Amino acid sequence: MFGFVGAGALTTAVVEGLSAGVAEPPPILLSPRGREVGRELAGRYPNVRVCSSNQDVVRDATTIVLAVRPQLAAEVMAELSFRPGQAVLSAMAGVRLEQLRDWGAPAGRVARVIPLPAAARRRSLTVLYPDVDAGRALFDRVGEVLVPGAERTLDAFSTATATFAAHLDYLATIVDWLTDQGVDPGAAAAYTTRIFGQLGESLTGHTGTLAELTAEYMTPGGINEQVMADLRGEGVPGSVRRALDRVMGRLRG
Ligand SMILES: NC(=O)c1ccc[n+]([C@@H]2O[C@H](COP(=O)([O-])OP(=O)(O)OC[C@H]3O[C@@H](n4cnc5c(N)ncnc54)[C@H](OP(=O)(O)O)[C@@H]3O)[C@@H](O)[C@H]2O)c1
């Protein structure tokens, strides 16, 4: 039995992946809070039930996913009592294993996970550390599982996921620039999302290096090469690295 404490965006994605179109979906328990999310999921999937308290989720589930915001971790965990034999999988960014083991005692297995929103389509590549069977048993159902060799490496993967919004902001800059050229805003957005959506598809199917893919899109002496050289000249790769270093520092306290 899977239980989720915190029923927001992440839980929704994982629950959808576990349930939508699945012949025999697993029973799932959700904590009560969460902007109608739990009620909506339970209405959609008969295998999902909303409990009346966080502790009821922990009492009845064997694998518990912690999916509240990290700032609430201490407050939420202080009220929960676990049992030996349970597995506790924390999705809370930056909350360290040592702390989780302390809060989760005497649960037998404690791990950290980073599921991706694509779990909803069973396309997540979920980072799991350490390698616990219960983590694989859950997250293999919503995509693939990647187990790094150290907790620090999990933090590095977590840091990489902090780039989504900046990446979208880069695309929004292109949309704004097109609009400034007199393109209708809707057409500018449709054009940009189409070309980058297709780029995303080509990334998903690509098995070689990113440098090889870059070369495919970049005619020597052409305009793609010009923009890349301009941005490199203005220090963009260095800024990205420094921003990633700062997030890693924040996650590792
Ligand atoms: N979103 C992602 O793709 C993603 C990916 C990897 C990891 N994570 C991690 O997953 C966690 C959740 O992220 P999220 O994006 O799902 O956040 P979210 O959408 O804000 O969901 C958090 C949920 O926790 C609920 N909550 C607040 N206080 C609670 C309490 N005392 N007991 C039980 N539930 C409580 C909130 O309910 P109310 O709405 O009633 O406040 C909300 O439904 C974070 O720690 C984040 O670092 C997220």
CA distance readout (Å), 69 to 62, 161, 172, 200:
22, 15, 27, 28
Provide the token pair at 114.
Answer: 């980073």
Nearest CA to ligand 1 atom 39: 34
One-letter amino acid of 128: L
2-147 shares its CATH topology with 162-251: no
- Determine the 3-state secondary structure of 69 from DSSP: coil
Query: How does pLDDT run across 44-53, given as a tens digit for each residue?
Result: 999 999 999 9
Cβ atoms of 70 and 91 closer than 8 Å: no
Which of ligand 1's atoms lies nearest the C-alpha of 117? 3
Report pTM.
Answer: 0.92
One-letter amino acid of 119: A
Task: Name the β-bridge partners of 49.
Answer: 29
Indicate if ligand 1 lies below 6 Å from the C-beta of 33. yes
Query: How does pLDDT run across 66-90, given as a tens digit for each residue?
Result: 999 999 999 999 999 999 999 999 9
Q: Give me the mean pLDDT over the 177-189 stretch.
A: 98
Which of ligand 1's atoms lies nearest the C-alpha of 70? 45
CATH class of 2-147: alpha beta
Q: Give me the mean pLDDT over the 2-25 stretch.
A: 97
Q: What's the gap in Å between 181 CA and the centre of ligand 1?
A: 40
Residue spans of the domains in the chain: they are: 2-147, 162-251
Query: How does pLDDT run across 84-105, given as a tens digit for each residue?
Result: 999 999 999 999 999 999 999 9
Q: Is the pLDDT of residue 22 over 90?
A: yes
Residues 162-251, CATH architecture = Orthogonal Bundle (1.10)
